[in-house]
Structure 1
Amino acid sequence: MILELVTFRIRPGVSEEQFAEAVRSVDGFLTEQPGFLSRQVLTVEGDRSHVDLVWWEDLAAAQAAAESIRKDPRAASFMSCLDPTSVHLSHARLTHSRPEKP
């Protein structure tokens, strides 16, 4: 499994409500992508930073989706919310996992 980790700030003037709606607009695109497993978006306490965590079956699936999302109209509102100077994307391979407590 591959974790796609994206950190970013939202642009000045974009409300948290607008951003939340834009986040949801990408979900349909993601669920249609081969190899997509799950997504969580986190808000960093105290500032306008966010972390977007997307789990993929493999790196090829993550890279293919990253290429496709640029062309998909459902992602336009999400992309327009991001401060492009703040975006950092990386991929990590799962090497250990401990299940949640029962």
Structure 2
Amino acid sequence: MNRAGALMENYFSDLYHDVKMIENMKKGNIYFFMIQPNCTHSAEVDNYDGIRDICAQVWGNYVIIRIEKVDDEHYTIKNWDVLDKKSYDTKSAELIQRYKNFVLG
């Protein structure tokens, strides 16, 4: 959460909502979380492409994390995608580089 918050320029409110979504996942559920400057967006498998494309029109820099609930206590979390094109909202070369370098570890 701290690493994502730093990527979001320390704007944590969306992350609290995202954590609740993750806690309420059922076995086999998959969610995608798009981490952008100042916000996150979530998507399920069936609406992922559409939400990703809408986000890309507004923010040109984001990281996508894929989370799957394996069983009652375990999740698989992995980097899924990075979009690192310039957008009108994110001009900071340093911030763009942080998105390019973001890797879960």
TM-score of the alignment, normalized to the shorter chain, above 0.5: no
If asked which structure has higher relative contact order (CA below 8 Å, sep 6+), I would say 1
Length-normalised TM-score, structure 1: 0.31
Larger radius of gyration: 1
Length-normalised TM-score, structure 2: 0.30
